[in-house]
Structure 1
Amino acid sequence: MSAERIISPQTMEAVRRSGAVPGSKYLLEVEDVRKEFPGVVALDNVQLKLKRGTVHALMGENGAGKSTLMKILAGIYTPDSGSFKLRGVDIRLKNPLDALQNGIAMIHQELNLMAPMTVSENIWIGREPLGRFGIVDHAEMNRRTDALFERLGIEIDPEIKVGKLSVANRQMVEIAKAVSFDSDVLIMDEPTSALTEREVNHLFRIIRSLREEGKGIIYITHKMNELFEIADEFSVFRDGKYVATCNSSEVTREDIIRMMVGREITQMFPKEPAQIGDVVLSVKGLTLTGVFRDVSFDLRAGEILGFAGLVGSGRSNVAETIFGVTPASSGTIELFGKQLTVSSPSVAMAHGMAFLTEDRKETGCFLLLDIQENAQMAVLQKRYVQLGFVQQEKLRKAATDMANRLRVRTPDMREPIINLSGGNQQKVLICRWLMTNPKILILDEPTRGIDVGAKAEIHRLISQLAGQGVAIIMISSEMPEVLGMSDRIVVLHEGRVTGILDRAEADQVKIMELASR
């Protein structure tokens, strides 16, 4: 790093205007980058080369080092060694503002907008246009936001508070904010995780227009179909090491998986036959006023009951009501043949239910606590307390064994969960609920943000649990997951059940027809 030539933002702006340094083939070049954290080598002399006017996908399992490298490029982390060139000029990034001034912007997987502020205020924070006497000119700021949104085809009121927006619209605001810096390099980390198919198509139109403007886009995703639709090239990392870079048109899905995991994954949805038993959960006429109405279904022991539907269909709301997060307005819930008023999650847990929520950051992880503390949250009042004392060693072993079973990548169980990748955080939450030995397990987007190798492991685990008689409700926005894992599928549209399909009769067309009625 000491040999790098450090340039000022003014010099970089001159380089940006004049074009690349003569002879430089790449917009961005990363060479021999290494980064260590206590007990972990996150990056081991990796490389990445981004061409102007291309979309370059970065692939790898959770813990492969993708996010670490992106945070280095965004100025959040400082590398231990390595070189960086932008337009052929050596750069060193000291902080996020430095990265933005040098033409690198990142759209994080976990959104970082400020809910109490308006859309315009979020986009132009720190760059607000000023009027007389140095006062922020809100009218000019809203005009600039309108012009930016018109360019990107986004229909959001600049003056609305961000806290009132859907997750999908917040994602669009994040994208617009990054574009507003007119950066040469845009890093997108799982940008479609909360978007509908229509919104994904809109995002891809934005990406293609930016590519035509000569921008370089680094695109991180676990969704293979996105890779082949939008990416020109991709690079694969594995266990903190660089594996390969290929043109997207020259490889198959299986090639990518093999490079990512270092092994063959012959079955992404290892659904094993399970003995379907008696009804353990019966929901009749369940209604939450203004959210969903008259929802009815039965769930049997050993059954995986998939829930499908478009964003806003009410899938997660039904799950939350069954678990007592938001008690129902009317209707009945029967557990093991007995009617029960599920007035709170503690009541649900006392009767053998567990619930993995959709949003791990907001409603799952205790980000300031370590892995063991997060994993043990649901069991401290049950099997691991004796005579008022927590059986620490027994609890530690149980949490460690479960973490090893799910391949949570961490130096030790005392690592703060905030330091883990999103996928590994998700695995810890699954550990938490499996430690309760549930009879009924509700999984809301169980593999969101999890890499392809870990997905297969989670699917295998779900199948094994069903084989052991656990009744499972699985909510997923990924159609192949719903079709591949479910014994039956409940389809919702605008808060009501529009159909229940058996595994043998279900296909994507039928589900989409029911989901859009």
Structure 2
Amino acid sequence: MGTRVDMKGISIEFPGVKALSDVDFSVRTGTAHALVGANGAGKSTLMKVLSGAHVHYSGDIYLDGIKRQIRSPKEAQGHGIQIVYQEVDTSLIPYLTVGENVMLNEMVQNMGQKQLVKWKNLHNAAAQILQDMNIHVSSKQLVKDLTLAQKQMVLIARAVSTECKFLILDEPTAPLSHRETTELFRIVNELKQKDVGIIFISHRLPEIFEICEDITIMRNGEHVTCRKTGDINQKDVVELMLGKTMDEQFPEVNAAIGDIVLEVKGLSDAGKIKDVNLHLKAGEIIGLAGLVGAGKTELCKVLFGHTSIRVGEVILNGRRLSLKTPHDAVKNGLALVPEERRKEGVLVQESVTSNLTAASLGEFSSTLSFLNRKAEKEKATEMIASLGIKTPSGEARVEHLSGGNQQKVAIGKWLIADADVYIFDEPTKGVDVGAKKDIFHLIAKLARNGKAIIYASSELSEIIGITNRTYVLYDGSTVIELKTNKTNEEELLYYSTGGE
């Protein structure tokens, strides 16, 4: 039967929030066990308890019926429990090589033993692990130069480089392409055959039914049910997650389409983007479709002044823009909700209020540059209520919010700033079905208010569901423009993979 972990009666509180309430969870080696729930359900918190990141919990953890103390990551790793977090950049050291990051646990364990690092042996060992996992990255490449997908695979390689009995994967496929997801599933199946237990946190339900034998559903910090995946369907899972029936996910936009607001002509940057052409009208939602690595994020960053334009033009309301910094973009009425929200979209150590007003502080400042805290707080409170942000108060730090609520904060700051063009880069990544629906309704409302929307996503069903027109990107270029109601996911995928 292999090894079994049982978590019994786990509870934990943070300031103003009871994150877990008397939760039971069990998993055995040799299987993949899905852990699902809406954002804020407590999935990641429960796994942080198991992996030793949260130590102030009550309840018990048993390995094969023997009660164990897990009060640090080192103790968890000593029991063979490894975790790969969703936000990969918080777990990697960017200025070290891939090999050093893969072998980091071993290097840390050997610290203080007064022995020299044998760099050749380290890189050979890392290269072998990468090769076994079919990851085509040099062990001597710096992590800061990797794509998001490559970083994710490096983290998984690190986890399995040590004696691993249980591997926790928190939204592992969110940054991965279809091909990379297939590779990940191959690795997961191989690990199961080697009697490793996989705990798989994901909002992509089809993946769960493909890879997992068991599923545990959580809601509001409590255990709802545990089932065999063969004994339940996706619709029932969603309704158990939300505690209610799920209505139609995509809203009717019904926005009046106005004149052209934004034109992009022959745009190229110094890297990925090559000869991009597109236009966008008031009240219109255009999609940027493409696989991971197609250049969607890079194009969004160029349009927001984050990276430099080498050739081409960006024209807003008939006026050519000079976009040298994000400040230039904001000043001209452009807003970006970035893909990596914790790294680029929110200030995780700051309060919800501070984040919501960060892009529009001028509205709350006097002529003497004093900040009107009362007005700032009132506006933030209004936005929290309007967006349905689940937080104990506006003073709560953003790092304590769930992923979906962090994303609402990232969007809310631009609603207060009142931009003309909103650029959404993978806005539903790592977000549950309930929060996704909220985000779609927000975007539809912006369009009805005459705002122009760019919606970049590798989730082709979302492109079909929410946009008016779609530009497909392949290898950094726009390859075709399609009316969304005249196309389908198959055609988008065809062009996304280089079809002509």
Q: TM-score, normalised by structure 2?
A: 0.94
Structure 1 residue 120 corresponds to structure 2 residue 119: no
* Distance of 1:215 and 1:174 partners within structure 2: 17
- Which range is displaced more, 342-351 or 466-475? 342-351
1:276 to 242, 245, 257: 257
2:365 to 370, 373, 385: 385
Name 1:285's counterpart in structure 2: 266
Residue identity in the other structure for 1:38: P
Name 2:243's counterpart in structure 1: 262
Residue identity in the other structure for 2:84: I
Name 1:170's counterpart in structure 2: 151
* Distance of 1:75 and 1:106 partners within structure 2: 10
CA RMSD of aligned residues (A): 1.9
CA drift of 1:347 comes to 2.8
Name 2:161's counterpart in structure 1: 180
* Distance of 1:386 and 1:426 partners within structure 2: 30
* Distance of 2:39 and 2:164 partners within structure 1: 27
Name 1:477's counterpart in structure 2: 458
Per-residue CA shift, 1:126-152, capped at 9, x if unaligned?
A: 52498x982222222223223323332
- Indicate how the Cα distance of structure 1 residues 405 and 74 shifts in structure 2: closer, same or farther if over 3 A, else same: same
Runs of 4+ in 1 over 4 A off after TM superposition: none
Residue identity in the other structure for 2:367: L
Name 2:69's counterpart in structure 1: 92
Structure 1 residue 499 corresponds to structure 2 residue 499: no
User: Contact 1:34/1:46 (CA < 8 Å) preserved in 2?
Assistant: yes
CA drift of 1:422 comes to 2.7
- Indicate how the Cα distance of structure 1 residues 316 and 160 shifts in structure 2: closer, same or farther if over 3 A, else same: closer
Name 1:302's counterpart in structure 2: 283
Structure 1 residue 420 corresponds to structure 2 residue 401: yes
Residue identity in the other structure for 2:207: E
* Distance of 1:288 and 1:146 partners within structure 2: 33
Structure 1 residue 332 corresponds to structure 2 residue 332: no
* Distance of 1:159 and 1:332 partners within structure 2: 38
CA drift of 1:333 comes to 2.1
Name 2:326's counterpart in structure 1: 345
* Distance of 1:27 and 1:516 partners within structure 2: 42
Residue identity in the other structure for 1:220: I
CA drift of 1:365 comes to 1.9
* Distance of 2:318 and 2:128 partners within structure 1: 59
User: Contact 1:233/1:245 (CA < 8 Å) preserved in 2?
Assistant: yes
Per-residue CA shift, 1:8-27, capped at 9, x if unaligned?
A: xxxxxxxxxxx86xxxxx71
- Indicate how the Cα distance of structure 1 residues 412 and 157 shifts in structure 2: closer, same or farther if over 3 A, else same: same
1:99-110 to structure 2, matched below 5 A, reads 99-110=76-87
User: Contact 2:464/2:485 (CA < 8 Å) preserved in 1?
Assistant: no
Residue identity in the other structure for 1:99: A
2:222 to 226, 237, 241: 241
Name 2:430's counterpart in structure 1: 449
What stretches of structure 1 of length at least 5 have no aligned partner?
1-18, 21-25
* Distance of 1:126 and 1:507 partners within structure 2: 46
- Partner of 2:199: helix, strand, or coil? strand
Name 1:39's counterpart in structure 2: 16
Residue identity in the other structure for 2:103: W
- Partner of 1:396: helix, strand, or coil? helix
Per-residue CA shift, 1:342-369, capped at 9, x if unaligned?
A: 3332232223221111211222222221
- Partner of 1:181: helix, strand, or coil? coil
1:207 to 166, 188, 196: 188
2:49 to 64, 68, 72: 72
- Indicate how the Cα distance of structure 1 residues 353 and 159 shifts in structure 2: closer, same or farther if over 3 A, else same: closer
**Corresponding pairs, count:** 492
CA drift of 1:62 comes to 1.2
1:12-31 to structure 2, matched below 5 A, reads 27-31=4-8
1:398-417 to structure 2, matched below 5 A, reads 398-417=379-398
CA drift of 1:385 comes to 2.5
- Indicate how the Cα distance of structure 1 residues 159 and 331 shifts in structure 2: closer, same or farther if over 3 A, else same: closer
- Which range is displaced more, 82-91 or 68-77? 82-91
- Which range is displaced more, 116-125 or 474-483? 116-125
Name 2:135's counterpart in structure 1: 154
* Distance of 2:323 and 2:425 partners within structure 1: 19
- Highest CA radius of gyration, 1 or 2? 1
What stretches of structure 2 of length at least 5 have no aligned partner?
none
* Distance of 2:94 and 2:495 partners within structure 1: 34
* Distance of 2:119 and 2:313 partners within structure 1: 51
User: Contact 1:30/1:47 (CA < 8 Å) preserved in 2?
Assistant: yes
